[in-house]
Amino acid sequence: MRNIVVEELRSVPVFEQRTEIVERKGLGHPDYICDSMMNKISIELSKEYLKKFGVIYHHNIDKSLLVAGEAEQKFGGGRIIKPMKMVIGDRATFIVDHEKIDIESIVIKTAKQWLQEHIRFVDPEKHMTYQIELKPGSKALQDIFKRAFETKVFGANDTSAVVGYAPLSETEKIVLETERFLNSKEFKKMFPESGEDVKVMGIRKNSELYLTIAMPLIDRFVKDENDYFIKKEEILEEIRKFVRNRTSYKSFVYMNTLDRKGRGIAGVYLTVTGTCAEDADCGEVGRGNRVNGVIPLNRPTGSEAAAGKNPVSHIGKIYNVLSHRIAEKIYNIIDAKEVYVWLVSQIGEPIDKPMIASAQIIPNKTPIEEMRKKVIEIIEEELSKIYEFCMELIYKEISVC
């Protein structure tokens, strides 16, 4: 029997609190690049294991450091002086039944492909170097996979706690939607000078919403300082219109607030490539968005980042995504204001039987006792289908950032 607890959470829902703070690091942010790229590498490696051997072997591509390069921005177009460096590390299975897997080729090919598909002005060959620091895993963790081949049930390869919730608040939704709008193909077509390194910080104070946005302009599209501020104002007006049409709150939108007129290049936010990793900021896995796409500072958080972890035994990925899915399914069926789902693993134990699965519910009008049975049924059902869910993490490439 699974250990499932359902309880009433006596708390004020986030959307009813006086203040709310939400952040999103967008497509070209150094932390997002690390998260998304490492996760894609894990997916491609999983597919390679399945293709060659019919099973997924031990790996975790969840340690990386994006080392900033050096660049010279200029009105009309600058240059990259020293390329960025992507350090990719942790564990992988290199040999199966005496057959060697070319891990390094898979990793580098996937990293270059990710850059080519997502950051328009980063040349994967010229603007990035790659340092692979992957090593074989410990015997104990590798044996988890061998046991699974015998029992058909993977054991958790860590003892950790995660939490998911539903629904997204209006503030969380607009922060997420604003970044996605700014990095959409439609927006880039309208404003090709806008870079991918978008960061949105949202603060709601009662019914007022304040969004502070950082987004560099691409220097080759900007003639001079005056042209920069003209283009910035055009972009800002488009963002304000987008936000006004999608929120009930009175909104205030700011962009690139470090800018100062009269200071030339030093007073504007320009990049050569569209990401500040070219010369200003490094990145790491785990410092970016949660698996639902935002950094929600009013919410509880677990102890694990999801990106790059293997999709069949590492609950840092599996439970992180699944907890949000379960919370959303519960919220859509019962009468609640908010739902939180906690999942805690115990290393070595089957991933479909967490040490505890806890649903905390802020009821609307229906008493918790009238909802308890249905909540337990939902959790039981989702945990019983965990193998199919793990395959979704690979083949549907569910976003974790």
Cα–Cα distance for residue pair 270/223, rounded to 1 Å: 12
Give the 3-state secondary structure of residue 43.
helix
Strands (E), 75-157: 79-82, 84-91, 95-96, 99-100, 128-135
Q: What is the pLDDT of residue 151?
A: 67
CATH code for the structural domain at 15-25+169-284: 3.30.300.340
Contact 212, 251 (CB under 8 A): no
Contact 241, 169 (CB under 8 A): no
Which range has the worst mean pLDDT, 143-152, 174-183, 302-311, 356-365? 143-152
Phi and psi torsions of 376, nearest 5°? -60, -40
111-121 pLDDT, tens digit per residue, is 999 999 999 99
pLDDT digits (tens, 9 = 90+) for 189-208: 999 999 999 999 999 999 99
| Other Cβ atoms closer than 10 A to 180 | 16
Q: If you average pLDDT over every residue of the chain, what do you get? A: 96
Give exposure, 230-239, as e/b (b: 16+ Cβ within 10 Å).
ebbeebbebb
> For residue 107, what is the DSSP state?
H
Inform me whether the pLDDT recorded for 98 exceeds 80: yes
Q: Which of the 8 DSSP states describes residue 221?
A: G
Residue pair 275/33 in contact by the 8 Å Cβ criterion: yes
Task: Express each pLDDT in 265-295 by its tens digit.
Answer: 999 999 999 999 999 999 999 999 999 999 9
Report which DSSP code applies to 276.
G
Over range 126-148, report the average pLDDT: 89
Whether residue 1 has pLDDT greater than 90:
no
Q: Is the peptide bond before 300 cis (omega within 30 degrees of 0)?
A: no
The confidence score (pLDDT) of residue 342 equals 98
Task: Please report the pLDDT score of residue 360 as a whole number.
Answer: 98
Q: Could you tell me the residue ranges of all domains in the chain?
A: 15-25+169-284
